[in-house]
Homo-oligomer: A and B are copies of this chain.
Amino acid sequence: MRSFSAVDVITTKRDGGVLSDDSIRWVLAAYQRGEVAEEQMSALLMAVFFRGLSTTELATWTDQMIASGDRLDLRGLSRPTVDKHSTGGVGDKISLILAPLVAACGAAVPQLSGRGLGHTGGTLDKLESIPGWRATLSNDEIRAQLEDVGAVICAAGSGLAPVDRRLYALRDVTATVASIPLIASSIMSKKIAEGTGALVLDVKFGSGAFMTDVDRARELAHTMVGLGLDHGVKTVAHLTPMQTPLGRAVGNALEVTESVEVLRGGGPPDVRQLTLALATLMLELVDLHVDPATKLDDGSAYEVYERMIRAQGGDPDADLPVAPLRHVVVATRSGYVQHVDALTVGVAAWRLGAGRARKEDGVSASAGVLVLVRAGDHVDAGEPLFELRAEDGAHLQRGLDAIGEAVGIVDEVPVFSLPPILNVVRE
């Protein structure tokens, strides 16, 4: 490969120029080899933050991130592969339900996931609250389980888009996370390397989402859909409001319990509804004409879930950890619930122990928040709003300090201008 000067590459992007394919491939490969220094890459990332990347630049950037590591080959399977990726929300346990549900409908779902950071939970953290369950599988185990069970949720190995791991850590300390092309390439490089044939993106917007603004979320969705299609992955995106927590449970084991309720045909209506909307999109992409609701209601989705958990060493019948400390937060006045704020609840669950501040930190399986009211509900003073769970008093106090403003109570029946419930981005 031709060699370039890092300063020239940074200068070109800084001044609004277009980086050549070769220079993009060179700068990422040289960074991976340690020839481009961290401080040079962070300057380039900040220049990208301001100047963006063209469609062609972004495609090459993503392609080089994929080329930096392994790519799973799932082509030999007897079922079509389709995955879902969420940009992260509060109480977002959809993957736990969706993967076995779509498998029950005849597809194979290879969900290679990460862990949670900050106020949004991670799917692996949730499943690890199940005794015996292990997140790490070999590539052969992934393929075998997809063929046999039809669904895998496991840790994305360090071999997939390894340069993304370093870039993400660098972006985190240099205030260059919130850049649409950098977010899009980070997500899509891993999803494309994972080898799925089709992909539904659940792009959240609102207070509890990474992108609070719906227009930015839509731009991110369009960008990621374009990248997927460019790389031969059938991709659509679903724009989903994340102003309020999804379901009632926020916290690892609490969310597993709620997921099982939905898998058994019950559970909170918003969780069931979003799961079915995403399942429908996934099944469309792989041309499977099945009504996913029937698979929740007839128990077949739950049956796949049990097999999926057992295949990874977990016991789906085992009791989940229960936090020793519980505290009920009550309404200080009577009235109507105007809103339950996703970010505030997410931060409270995090402070209670359910989330981590740094990648290296552990999480509590049992800590979290149960949301006992929804917007529009009438409450009397003294009625419960939340139940907080924690393993010790210090965490409980931190959660209590954080939950303060999560619920707004007003005298009049609140009028909602609901954001669109289904909003699909197709290129």
Using CB atoms and an 8 Å cutoff, list the residues of chain A in contact with chain B.
6-7, 10-11, 14, 37-43, 45-47, 49-50, 170, 172-176
Contacts and interface: CB of A to CB of B under 8 A. Distances in A.
Contacts of A6: 173
A178 to B, nearest CB: 9
Contact of A14 (B37, B173, B175): B175
A13 to B, nearest CB: 9
12 contacts: A6-B173, A7-B172, A7-B173, A7-B174, A10-B175, A11-B175, A42-B42, A43-B43, A43-B45, A43-B46, A43-B175, A46-B47
Nearest to A43: B174
B42 A43 contact: yes
Nearest to A171: B43
Contacts of A7: 172-175
Nearest to A50: B50
Contact of A39 (B10, B14, B39, B47): B39
A173 B7 CA distance: 6
A50 B11 CA distance: 12
Contacts of A173: 6-7, 37, 39-40
Contacts of A47: 46, 175
A42 to B, nearest CB: 4
Given A38-B38, A50-B50, A10 B174 contact: yes
Contacts of A49: 14
Query: Which are the 5 A-B pairs with shortest beta-carbon distances?
Result: A43-B174, A46-B46, A10-B175, A39-B42, A38-B39
Contacts of A46: 14, 42-43, 46-47, 50
Contacts of A175: 7, 10-11, 14, 43, 47
A47 B47 CA distance: 8
A174 B40 contact: yes
A185 B172 CA distance: 28
Contacts of A40: 42, 173-174
A38 B38 CA distance: 8
Contacts of A174: 7, 10, 39-40, 42-43
A6 to B, nearest CB: 7
A41 B170 CA distance: 12
